[in-house]
Chain A
């Protein structure tokens, strides 16, 4: 049966309710098993030796003393992870990042690893490994790295995307450009033009659970990996390719996940754990410390962004232009490209141009962080939009409403929008009581908009009906935000049964077909589509079994509210058969009943949000407190509203931390100064106000229930909303994120001194 993913308006019984999540009790009682909670008999402790240098040639590594230490079962270097990537540059980078091959490219880069009988022995063994480094000049600042005099991180890199291949290598790996129209013409038509430059510092996702895994490579060439990940199928592909294993012989089981936010979308220490296990012949458990997580997993880019926007007196934007430089760590990425695509996505623009530059620096490899690259671009653009509204003498919300993209608008990155939520979120903000609440001295209010694409992708789901009528749902997308509850609601909805009859699990890689990882806000969007499809396939079988029981044609059996019903007057005396009844007799009617689904979930609807923020700034210390915060976002359809609100609040909370205090601080020696939660300052509970949310539901036409992804967009507006609020509170435009107290106080002092 072909699956029709198109939206059809319907009344919901389960979807839109707020039941307790199936993983909740285990999590609040400490029973849930996270990455470090797996153990195997005979397992060893793995530890990684990391470079103290930001940039250095590894001349030699002597592991002989470590190997001789009693209790050490394996010591590995890059030699134990031979290059099997066969010209796949992206995979080679992942391999090199897992274990440095020729050069250490950042403070924290892995250079060797040991497996030993306990942690103490492993730590001692690391001290016995002698690495001979030739220290090279390093570069950690994105603007300095982009300069043509900067030390080269990789002398084989020639900037891609230029009209001619450059003569000299560079730290800029790629130039990308988006837009349409003629910005020169547009600026010529403008009555007002605002142009500014911005910087944002590098931040980390700050997930509470460090990376952790247990790897067990068996003598027969099979292997198991238990790991905290956002995508166990992707981890299987990566690890199998890097280790030279057959994918189907590596079984990866995902643990509960204590946060990922994009940082657990590709492998870090997992290939090392597998290589250690292969060499030692025993299972190896490898758990990163917090220091290692900061130094050697994947934070987001530091950026430098120039924005110029022009408008006519009537408030129409005539042209918009941005140049975006994003740090990638030492390996090529497409982070500026995504920033360049998202920068002006909220607006209907005749003339728009964005240019992105990917910049190599001696910092850890950049990874995705919740709507990766979009928050920084939104910060720069929405700051200028706010300033331009002031120049025009227009209300900030009205100015945005006038220029907001709508259905049929050609987006700044190319596609033409379907039905979208930017206009409705702005109208909701305009009418929100928050916008009218009074402010006190030293307080300011700001607002800003944000956009995220959302993704779909490959998805495979099994729905099995037990003989007692209960339903088990096996999905392949890791549950990062309550998707087991949401998907159970969707299965209950389709089957017409109660939520409590459905139990969803995340299946391992040997139990289901391939699934893309939980990223791009795709978990609930794509797996709900697959769940609907699987449920409909199961319903088809349920109808057949009922038809068989009644001995009537299956075409005359319909499925309603959890029952097979014989259609038409001639079957008037046949009582409906419940799912439970059909399941109970399934052994006699053809065996177990199940629905399967495999699909590519296309048509993830784009997502927009508008945030409002009030801050209070202490003018004597530069300290900023967020005193009120409101998120308005389009969910398409909120399957489980509580977890949708949780996503809205979580994104805002992370955005507040990023805006105010979080940053990677490097010393002149190229070493990270604050690799811990004491000095990498994510907000604590008492730093945040209650974050209010308002869910709008503009159905996604490409999903049966209208669902859009909701996980990421909420982190896009906060940097800008808070910057606009601070600017309104103190009268100084803040152009450098985070707006830490020393930066605000310095800006205020500069203003006071004129």
Chain B
């Protein structure tokens, strides 16, 4: 096994592109090291990206926020501006693992691990976040929901690295929220989860809405119909009921050790309702 710590994204991309055996990118390592210890993967090359310039920074730009791929989730929680603009994304990132894990893990890693149960991903999808990808043939920017293609699989080509996640600048009257269901209170993996991102018009009605579900299908689901049903409403009871029904219907869950199909369907709807209510309240809606 070879471990390298390049100083530029070009070097990292180059090394990954020419790797012959299995290669892995190391940021926090909270998924990678566990999988190596469990004997699930034995990479021949490990590329540590933490020394690459800019990858460990959260930058506020004219368009919004740029979160470097090596920024630990705990750092997101300490960023006041980000917390104010995207509370749902930050709370999702700060639900992953334990305090110790949050000091290491990254939202980019969470996205690239491509688990349908990844906590930060439904919040990022609801937020309309984008991923900036560096690769052998240059850079491209794609919607985060197009990164995972199935459990453990991504759309990234050989040699490609996500260098940052972009979040838009917030307009007035905007709020988001993320909720997950776990049988315990912490240190657990989502049985099912929901992220909701809303903006309101000047009259307090919902202007735009995005709803995403986690652990409800092979990848995190963006449920466009669920967003549409919220638009124009003030989250009245009937709308919430329709929201739950759409979300439950959109699920394509499985029975496994963490939950049943019936349970995930039902609770996906419940969590979407509750997350929508929190997001709405955060905007100041009544």
Q: A residues 626-673 with Cβ under 8 Å of B?
A: 660-661, 665, 673
Q: How far is the CA of A649 from the CA of B189 in the complex (A)?
A: 27
Interface segment among B6-14, B164-172, B258-266: the answer is B258-266
- When distances are taken between beta carbons in the complex, the residues of chain B under 8 Å from A291 are 38
Interface residues on A, range: 20 to 34
* B187: interface (CB < 8 Å): yes
At the interface, yes or no: A742 with Cβ under 8 Å from chain B? yes
Q: Which residue of A lies closest to B269 (CB)?
A: A620
Q: What's the dominant secondary structure at chain A's contact region?
A: loop
Contact of A560 with B by CB under 8 A: no
Distance in angstroms between the alpha carbons of A681 and B187 in the assembled complex: 10
Residue A684 interfacial (CB < 8 Å): yes
A746 contact from B39, B187, B263, B270, Cβ within 8 A? B263
Nearest CB on B from A737, distance (A): 14
Q: State whether the Cβ of B286 lies closer than 8 Å to any Cβ in chain A.
A: no
Contact of B183 among A620, A660, A749 (CB under 8 A): A660
A625 to B185: give the CA distance in the assembly, Å.
Answer: 9
Residue interface mask B243-285, A partner, CB < 8 A = 1: 0000000000000111110110011001000000000000000
Interface residue? A1 (CB, 8 A): no
Kindly state the separation between the CA atoms of A89 and B142 in the bound complex, as whole angstroms.
66
A742 touching B260, Cβ below 8 Å: yes
Contact B189 A621 (CB under 8 A): no
A708 to chain B, nearest CB (A): 34
Partner of B258, one of A623, A660, A679, A686: A679
Residues of B near A741 (CB, < 8 A) are 181, 183, 191, 259, 263, 267
B257 touches A622 (CB 8 A): no
Q: How many residues of B contact A (CB 8 A)?
A: 21
A28 to B257 alpha-carbon distance, docked (Å): 35
Q: Which residues of A contact B38 (CB under 8 A)?
A: 291
Task: Mark each residue of chain B from 190 to 218: 1 if its CB lies under 8 Å from any CB of chain A, else 0.
Answer: 01000000000000000000000000000
| A456 to B28 Cα, complex, angstroms | 52
Contact A621 B185 (CB under 8 A): no
Q: CB-CB < 8 A to A679: which residues of B? A: 189, 257-258
CB-defined contacts of B184 to chain A, threshold 8 Å: 661, 681, 683-684, 686-687
What is the CA–CA distance of A742 and B187 in the complex, to the nearest angstrom?
Answer: 19
Is B188 in the interface zone, CB < 8 Å from A?
Answer: yes
A249 within 8 A of B: no
On chain A, the residues within 8 Å of B263 by CB distance are 622, 741-742, 745-746
- Complex: how many Å from CA A610 to CA B256? 36
Contact in complex: B266, A661 (CB < 8 Å): no
Docked pose: A674 CA to B258 CA in angstroms: 9
The chain B residue with its CB closest to the CB of A740 is: B183
B241 at the interface (CB under 8 A from A): no
9 closest A-B pairs (Cβ-Cβ)?
Answer: A742-B263, A686-B185, A673-B257, A620-B270, A665-B257, A742-B260, A674-B257, A661-B183, A684-B187
Question: Which B positions have Cβ atoms within 8 angstroms of A?
Answer: 38-39, 181, 183-189, 191, 256-260, 262-263, 266-267, 270
Q: Can you give 27 contacting A-B residue pairs, CB < 8 Å?
A: A620-B267, A621-B267, A621-B270, A622-B263, A623-B183, A625-B185, A660-B183, A661-B183, A665-B257, A678-B188, A681-B184, A681-B188, A684-B184, A684-B185, A684-B186, A684-B187, A686-B184, A686-B185, A686-B186, A687-B184, A740-B183, A741-B191, A741-B267, A745-B263, A745-B266, A746-B260, A749-B266
